[in-house]
């Protein structure tokens, strides 16, 4: 096929009418436009125009609507065509002018499919199979749910916490007993105190932040202040020691609080930015060392017969019987000793309360 010959006669005539000065000006204008185009800051243009602020919120809504409608069309169109064709007559199928809407309409193909495929017996079998699957799923769910509620196993708390929002599951290291546990061990549980009510005002202040920042904010207000810092200060001062917390220096904190979350913790490591800085001055074995606080090995001591008996004596004392269901306390202690659960922090919390109560209000004696 021969291509149509291009005709530039009109353009040539227009060019001949231009004076030399106009031709030069036109040439310079073209060169200037080409220069501007080549040296234009396209990255800046993209940042401005290809972002939410650039095309506008309404523009994004329209774009998303087009994408959703397009996907729906691609997915639903074949089913719609099949449905329409099933109601066509033989003449409609053979008529090339019938594109989408049937002219005559018929249920011939539907009836033929029902009888040839033995449809109703197959439908009954499918319904029975679906019922059996539903019953099996219900049974398995009940067994798994009972196992979660009844038995303790490693990773149970991790799975439960993972199914909850951060506001519901995180209160930091100050969280010892949940509502069900308090109802079991206390003789007169009030039921008034829900940790979510305590933390809600603080979560509201950082509701637009990511989960890591939210947890840090809760720890600052519920664990550092009035808890770990207070205890460290009192214990050190009681032994004439001055303890300092360099990471809480105002300048260090002002820098740390501006770090993006990916530099605080990521899939590679915790304290990512600090470890990278430490790599410049310290050996890798130090900079990459696993996080380790300075806890006392209470978990191990409580399994020792000597300390087990000491705690048990406190848990069955008159003071304990006044406020607690002592059988539940001893159960915590026995489970920990037998290695069925790590109840060390719960046991230590109750024991510290009993030691404090005995020092100020009690008459019984047991070692602290």
Same domain, 239 and 309: no
Residues 164 and 188 in one domain: yes
Whether 272 and 264 have beta carbons less than 8 Å apart is answered as yes
Give me the residues paired with residue 265 across strands: 270
The neighbour count for residue 280, using CB atoms within 10 Å, is 7
Establish if 126 belongs to a structural domain: no
Could you give the residue ranges of the DSSP H alpha helices within 175-282?
A: 179-185, 195-205, 211-219, 229-238, 250-256, 272-278
Phi (first) and psi of residue 329, to 5 degrees: -65, -45
Q: Are residues 239 and 162 in the same domain?
A: yes
> Is 141 within the bounds of a domain?
no
Residues 199 and 242 occupy one common structural domain: yes
Please give the tally of structural domains in the chain: 3
Question: 307: burial class by Cβ within 10 Å (0-12, 13-18, 19+)?
Answer: middle
State how far Cα 346 lies from the chain centre: 27
CA–CA separation, 221 and 195 (whole Å): 13
What is the predicted pLDDT for the residue at 111?
Answer: 81
Per-residue pLDDT of the chain (368 residues; tens, 9 = 90+): 444 444 545 655 666 666 666 666 666 566 666 666 766 666 666 666 655 555 556 677 788 889 989 888 888 888 888 888 888 888 877 777 777 788 888 888 888 777 777 778 888 899 999 999 999 999 999 988 888 777 777 777 777 777 778 888 888 777 788 888 888 899 887 766 677 888 889 999 998 888 899 999 998 888 888 888 988 899 899 999 988 888 889 999 898 888 888 888 888 788 888 888 888 888 888 888 887 777 788 899 999 999 999 999 999 998 899 999 999 999 999 999 998 888 999 999 999 999 999 888 876 555 44
Are residues 167 and 225 both part of a single domain? Answer: yes
pTM of model > 0.85: no
Residue 112 lies in a domain: yes
- Which of 116, 135, 165 marks a domain boundary? 116
166 and 279 both lie in a single domain: yes
Range of the domain at 339: 298-360
Residue 40 belongs to some domain of the structure: no
In-domain check, residue 1: no
> What pLDDT score was predicted for residue 90?
80
Clarify whether residues 183 and 276 are in a common domain. yes
Same domain, 172 and 209: yes
102 domain-assigned: yes
Tell me whether residue 142 is in a domain: no
**Which residue reads 């090995």 in tokens?**
297
pLDDT, residue 300, reads 92
Choosing from 285, 318, 338, the residue where a domain stops is 285
């Amino acid at each position: 096929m021969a291509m149509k010959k291009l005709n530039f006669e009109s353009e040539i005539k227009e060019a001949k009418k231009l004076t030399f000065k106009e031709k030069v000006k036109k040439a310079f204008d073209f060169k200037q436009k080409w220069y501007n185009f080549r040296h234009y800051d396209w990255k800046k243009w993209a940042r401005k125009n290809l972002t939410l602020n650039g095309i506008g919120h309404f523009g994004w809504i329209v774009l998303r609507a087009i994408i959703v409608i397009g996907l729906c069309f691609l997915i639903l169109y074949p089913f719609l065509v099949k449905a329409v064709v099933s109601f066509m007559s033989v003449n409609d199928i053979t008529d090339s002018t019938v594109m989408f809407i049937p002219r005559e309409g018929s249920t011939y193909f539907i009836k033929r499919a029902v009888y040839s495929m033995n449809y109703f017996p197959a439908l009954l079998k499918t319904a029975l199979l679906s019922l059996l699957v539903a019953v099996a799923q219900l049974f398995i769910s009940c067994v798994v749910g009972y196992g979660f509620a009844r038995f303790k196993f490693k990773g149970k708390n991790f799975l439960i916490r993972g199914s909850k929002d951060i506001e519901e599951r995180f209160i930091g290291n100050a969280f010892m007993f949940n509502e069900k546990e308090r109802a079991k061990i206390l003789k007169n549980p009030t039921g008034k105190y829900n940790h979510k009510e305590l933390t809600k005002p603080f979560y509201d202040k950082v509701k637009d932040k990511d989960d890591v920042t939210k947890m840090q904010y809760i720890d600052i207000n519920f664990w550092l202040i009035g808890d770990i810092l207070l205890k460290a200060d009192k214990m050190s001062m009681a032994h004439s020691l001055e303890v300092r917390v360099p990471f809480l220096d105002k300048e260090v904190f002002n820098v740390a609080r501006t770090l993006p979350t990916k530099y605080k913790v990521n899939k590679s490591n915790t304290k990512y930015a600090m470890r990278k800085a430490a790599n410049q001055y310290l050996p890798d074995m130090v900079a990459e060392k696993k996080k380790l606080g300075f806890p006392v090995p209470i978990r191990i001591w409580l399994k020792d017969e000597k300390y087990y008996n000491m705690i048990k004596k406190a848990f069955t004392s008159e003071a304990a019987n006044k406020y607690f269901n002592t059988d539940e306390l001893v159960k915590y202690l026995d489970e920990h000793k037998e290695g069925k659960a790590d109840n060390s922090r719960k046991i230590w919390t109750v024991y510290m309360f009993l030691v404090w109560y005995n020092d100020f209000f009690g008459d019984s004696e047991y070692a602290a």
